[in-house]
A and B are shown apart, each in its own frame.
Chain A
Amino acid sequence: MLTDARLVAAKDLRIEMRSKVTVSQVVPFAGLVLVMFGFALDANRPTLDLATSGLFWVTVLFVAVMAVQRSTAIETTDGARRALLLAGVEPSAVFMGKAAAVAVQLLAVELVLIGGIIVLYDASIEEPLLLVATCVTATAGIAAAGTLLGALVAGVRARETVLPILLLPVLAPVLLGATRAFDDALGAVAVNGWSWLAMLVGFTVINVAFGVTAYGVLLEET
């Protein structure tokens, strides 16, 4: 199953690499959002300091919606989904693979965004370990929930509008948890970021487990 998952992930990532959309559109979009927030908050340093982690994760959620949409589109075109099933790949492996591919893209964007907040928002990283752990855990959770809900709206005509409606409320705990953990890691607010990280782990475990079990049902249905 892990081999299959790796194959699916590699396939998705290769398609993304070749299309160059992540590099040429998604990353610039993320940077643009950062700049826009800077304008919106009137480049007010104290406000920006307090808002940095929240803005970071809101941007990540926007990017996640785009990434999931693209990841789903890969399978819906040309009946690729059916072909995957016929090839005898376990639905749970497909889920893990697609989620991993989304996670890798998100992590790449987050890397750029961290550079962005350091340069544009003057953020300083006080606890690198917490920062990395938060990114990895939260991203895994976002990718898992996103991949499942992406499959859910696959083939629906109005999926561009339906996906955010479904995904964003589900990701609300991630936004809460990751933002608080980042507040700690960036030294912006005195909170215990590690307990928030524990909450994120809970979210990720629940959503990965549910995704692994439920993905097959959605895959067979359409």
Chain B
Amino acid sequence: MTTTTASDITGTRRRGTGSRTTFWLGSVGLVGVVVLILLGFFAAPADDDQVDAVRMIFIHVPVAMLTYVAFSLTAVGSVLWLWKRSIWWDTVALSAAEVGVMFCGLTLFTGSIWGRPTWGTYWDWGDVRLVTTMILFLIMVGYLAVRSLDGDSATLATRAAVIGIIGAVNIPIVNRSVTWWSSRRTLHQKSSLTDGNLEDLTLFTMMFGLVVFSILMLWMMIHRFRISWLERQVSEGNLSEALIARRAEAMVAVETGRVGGAIQPELGRQPDKGGFGEVEDSK
């Protein structure tokens, strides 16, 4: 997963978005995945009812929980962007949304795959959590769609932030409505965690899975954050290069215009415009 080696990081030239922290996070995450596979497939016992299908719990539950963590981060980041204009939080919101949409898709996928042998169906319209998660997934896909539009980064951040918050404020109402709608039947077990139905080792493996996927999520979010940061630098770099170029052009025009006299004032205004643009961009 991490192809960055330690020598890359200690070297003077960065070769990617890796760092010492992500190198170790990635390494621990990789080892964790291997251990999780061993625990999940060989150490944990089969369930009385679900037999071996229960082994899906070790990825489904952690990924589902982290989906909601990620989308909460998006909502928090969106609020803080609108409130404090914090680029840091805006970037966190974007990173969390991207990782969250992936996890949400995987939650739905692993849930269906698990549902088929245990409930006898891939998809059930009567299940609250399933349908709520689907709607949330669709809203957050919209969030990413807005992020991928072209336009000024601050404008896009604001627009996306509004969706991030709409997603969050509508979740209770979506959940409520689906609960009533499907009150006839809900397939999800109430909570395997609290009713003590799970074997100790099964519970431990699930918790271990949560830790492993948290580490992976952190690793991905850090990398995603740094990519956004670099993208911002690139676009700002291009912008300031363009400004410098235009200013140089204008200077030349002013110098030559000085001979003509008449066109000078109008051309002379151009560097000013560039200057204002720059002030706005760095704001």
Query: Do A's and B's CB atoms come within 8 Å in the complex?
Result: yes
The B157-207 residues at the A interface (CB cut-off 8 A) are 158-159, 162-163, 165-166, 169-170, 173-174, 176-178, 180-181
Q: Which of A165, A203, A207, A221 contacts B142 (CB 8 A)?
A: A165
Q: Are B146 and A162 touching (Cβ within 8 A)? A: yes
A156 to B148, CA, bound (A): 11
Q: Are B181 and A180 touching (Cβ within 8 A)? A: yes
Binds A, one of B11-19, B133-141, B232-240: B133-141
Min distance, Cβ A179 to any Cβ of chain B, angstroms:
9
**Size bracket, chain A contacts:** 20 to 34
Chain A residues whose C-beta falls within 8 Å of the C-beta of B174 in the assembled complex: 172-173
Q: Please encode chain A, from 158 to 183, with 1 for each CB lying within 8 Å of some chain B CB and 0 for all others.
A: 10001001101110110011001000
Query: Is chain B's binding surface mostly helix, strand, loop or mixed?
Result: helix
A149 to B170, CA, bound (A): 14
A163 to B174, CA, bound (A): 20
Query: Is chain A's binding surface mostly helix, strand, loop or mixed?
Result: helix
Chain A residues whose C-beta falls within 8 Å of the C-beta of B158 in the assembled complex: 217-218, 221
A214 within 8 Å of B (CB atoms)? yes
Min distance, Cβ A173 to any Cβ of chain B, angstroms:
4
Task: Tell me the total A-B contact number using a CB cutoff of 8 A.
Answer: 84
- Decide: A199 near B155, CB < 8 A? Known: A170-B139, A170-B166: no
Q: Are A199 and B173 touching (Cβ within 8 A)? A: yes
Q: Are B176 and A199 touching (Cβ within 8 A)? A: yes
Chain A residues whose C-beta falls within 8 Å of the C-beta of B1 in the assembled complex: none
Chain B contributes a number of interface residues (CB within 8 A of A) equal to 28
Q: Are A222 and B169 touching (Cβ within 8 A)? A: no
- Decide: A176 near B145, CB < 8 A? Known: A169-B135, A170-B170: no
Chain B residues whose C-beta falls within 8 Å of the C-beta of A196 in the assembled complex: 180
Chain B residues whose C-beta falls within 8 Å of the C-beta of A206 in the assembled complex: 169-170, 173
Chain B residues whose C-beta falls within 8 Å of the C-beta of A180 in the assembled complex: 180-181
Excluding A199-B180, A218-B158, A218-B159, 17 further A-B contacts by CB distance (< 8 Å) are: A149-B163, A149-B166, A152-B159, A157-B150, A162-B142, A165-B138, A165-B141, A165-B142, A166-B146, A169-B138, A170-B166, A172-B135, A173-B170, A173-B174, A177-B177, A196-B180, A214-B165
13 contacting pairs across A/B (C-beta < 8 A): A148-B162, A152-B159, A158-B149, A165-B141, A166-B145, A168-B138, A173-B170, A195-B180, A196-B180, A203-B177, A214-B82, A214-B165, A217-B82
